[in-house]
Chains A and B, each alone.
Chain A
Amino acid sequence: MRVLVVAEKSGGQVRRVSQEIAAKAASFGDVDVIAVRGERYSPIAWSTAVAEKAKASGAQLVLIGATINGRDLAARAAAKLGWAYAADCTDLVTKEGAAEAKRPMYAGKIHATVRVPLPGFVSIRPGAWTLPVGAAAPGVADIEPGPEDPRLRLDRFEAAPTGGKRVSLAEARTIVSAGRGMKGPEHWKLVEELADALGAATGASRAVTDAGWRPNEEQVGQTGKTVTPDLYVALGISGAIQHLAGMTSSKVIVAVNKDPDADIFKIADYGVVGDLFEFVPAFTEAVRKVKAGG
């Protein structure tokens, strides 16, 4: 089967999720890896280019990372071609002219297996497929974007006050998230210091983003981001069902909360009951020590 992998680049580098997919794709058939040339994603120009390439290459299966842009592109390109599309999948097998994909539904409250008739598009959640250690970077062929729609143009980019300096939440292998237990935005230095020690992205509960303590883009959970890092540290988050839905597939969960009955402890691998203002600075120090090899 011909497989087309649509890679995304960030700062000239192939994104990790695209590498994960390219590494796995060989198990489905003959793989071409492409990327659309250009600094910023454009919904019309990029989806047109990918749809044309998918058709021309005879691909049966088109794979792309389930990132913000990847999901946008796959949906529009699939619609252009009238092909099936399965979004945000965590695994995939191919079977007699179809693919079977695993995908979370109901914000992760249900895990479904769906049949995807081929040809079709499948977007794959970052981190769902482990990048083999020492995997060679995939060879990527650049394609030109299609024509823009004259009715739509990118006017400018408005950077978020906290944006840009940290790892992207969706692809981060480690996340430190904090909730109302932090008592106020002025205490976020504690969160950031721990995140720096761990090399982590920072996340937040909805209560915190709704209160304006943190930007919306940090919200983890239903109506925010669904994340699947190797390590998720939840500080002062009680664990509303919508938050749990967004992070329960993390490999290892550490929770710190002063309420021993908090729901977050039901899914935590390591739970710390107590005052986070005492624990977090000590933990940051302990992490630094471990990382330094002592």
Chain B
Amino acid sequence: MRILVCVKQVPDSTVKVKVAGDRRSIATEGVTWSISPYDEYAIELALERKDADGSTVVSVVTVGPARSRDALRQALAMGCDDATLVTAPEDLGGLDVAKALAAVAKELKPDVVLCGKQASDDDQGLVGPALAEALGWPHVGMLTKAVPGGDAIELWREVEGGHEVWKATPPVVGLVHKSEKEPRYPSLPGIMKAKKKEIPEKTIESLGVAPIAQRLEVLLMEPPPQRGGGKIFKLDGDAKGVAEQVAKALHEEAKVI
């Protein structure tokens, strides 16, 4: 089986994000970049297939600025077999990113394409379904598990109250919500091997993608409104008294119960 994982390089999710001086973008100075967490789960799901069946080939691709090469290097170090970098301006719209990914998928001919369900920077969740649409393939979202069996692959989709289990005959696009295991860390031999691998670079123009106008334009970015100045209660042995005060405040002041 051949699996193609699509990733995006984003600011590391454990760090604070600040608005830049133009108030339309984020300050990138000093930012640590990583693979978007949902894409890491997608890599993990793909590599688990490879663990189970050594003949599985896992390719990884990204569309983004030149620094995205580091994300691919990390994916290779985790155990992916090959990587493709498609350089593109950072504000390329989701539908165009999907077209570029579709062009790469058509060359690599994977059975399964996995993407994170959304990138953790714009939190849109457009590219995966749009890629499936561009390829003319079905997609299944919110994946937490992919189990091959015979001609079909079982795709577990987390929804309210449980999982829908879909059966797909490849090719199919899966949008990953989470893997059961935490994404693996790159191993030292993995890192050494990844350093030696060539990462071919393409441009969106070379893939025949002409950007269209139907994309979002950021007009303003702001930090979320500050909270704080709340009331603090100390129990000091009087749990009942404090509990009654808090319940009363929620009822009379905040009016939420």
Contact = CB atoms under 8 A, between A and B. Distances in A.
Same complex for A and B? Answer: yes
B188 to A, nearest CB: 25
A214 interface: no
Interface string B32-60: 00000110000000000000000000000
B133 A80 contact: yes
Contact of B138 (A149, A254, A273, A290): A149
Interface string B107-148: 000000000001011111110111011100111111010000
A107 B139 contact: no
Interface string B155-195: 01011111111111111100100100010000000000000
Interface string B210-252: 0011111111111111011011111110011011101111110
A248 B257 CA distance: 19
Residue among A43, A111, A266 having the largest count of chain B Cβ atoms under 10 Å: A43
Nearest to A80: B133
Contacts, number: 285
Nearest to B214: A84
Nearest to A83: B214
Contact of A76 (B38, B121, B139, B168): B139
B11 A106 contact: yes
Contacts of B239: 274-275, 278-279, 281-282
A107 B212 CA distance: 27
B238 to A, nearest CB: 9
Contacts of A248: 224, 227
B14 A163 contact: no
Given A267-B228, A273-B232, A231 B256 contact: yes
B246 A254 contact: yes
B125 A71 contact: yes
B164 A40 contact: yes
Given A43-B140, A82-B212, A274-B234, A114 B254 contact: no
Contact of A117 (B169, B214, B228): B214
B163 to A, nearest CB: 5
Contacts of B132: 76, 79
Interface in A45-69: 47, 68-69
B154 interface: yes
Given A155-B165, A270-B230, A76 B217 contact: no
Interface string A260-294: 10000111111111110011011101110111000
Contacts of B196: none
A283 B240 CA distance: 7
Contact of B223 (A71, A110, A113, A160): A110
B217 A114 contact: yes
Interface residues of A, number: 94
Contact of B250 (A86, A114, A252): A252
- Bin chain B's interface residue count: 35 or more
Interface string A63-104: 000001101100110111011111110000000000010011
Contacts of A189: none
Chain B contact residues, majority secondary structure:
mixed
Given A151-B169, A267-B227, A273-B234, A107 B120 contact: yes
A288 to B, nearest CB: 9
Interface string B1-20: 00000000001011111010
B178 A223 contact: yes
A110 B215 CA distance: 19
A76 B158 contact: no
A251 interface: yes
A59 B128 CA distance: 24
A37 interface: no
A135 interface: no
Residue among A40, A120, A157 having the largest count of chain B Cβ atoms under 10 Å: A157
A187 interface: no
Contacts of B236: 274
Nearest to B122: A105
Interface string A16-54: 000000000000000000000000100110010000000
Given A80-B133, A223-B13, A274-B234, 11 more contacts: A68-B159, A79-B130, A87-B118, A106-B121, A112-B222, A158-B164, A217-B160, A265-B232, A268-B230, A273-B234, A283-B247
Interface of B: 11, 13-17, 19, 26, 37-38, 93-95, 98, 118, 120-126, 128-130, 132-134, 137-142, 144, 154, 156, 158-172, 175, 178, 182, 212-225, 227-228, 230-236, 239-240, 242-244, 246-251, 254, 256-257
28 contacts: A44-B138, A68-B141, A68-B160, A75-B130, A82-B212, A106-B26, A109-B16, A112-B222, A120-B214, A152-B138, A152-B166, A158-B156, A158-B163, A164-B162, A174-B256, A174-B257, A222-B120, A254-B246, A270-B249, A272-B246, A273-B234, A279-B243, A282-B240, A282-B243, A283-B247, A286-B240, A287-B247, A289-B244
**Nearest 7 pairs of A and B residues by beta carbon:** A274-B235, A163-B161, A79-B130, A282-B243, A286-B247, A75-B129, A79-B133
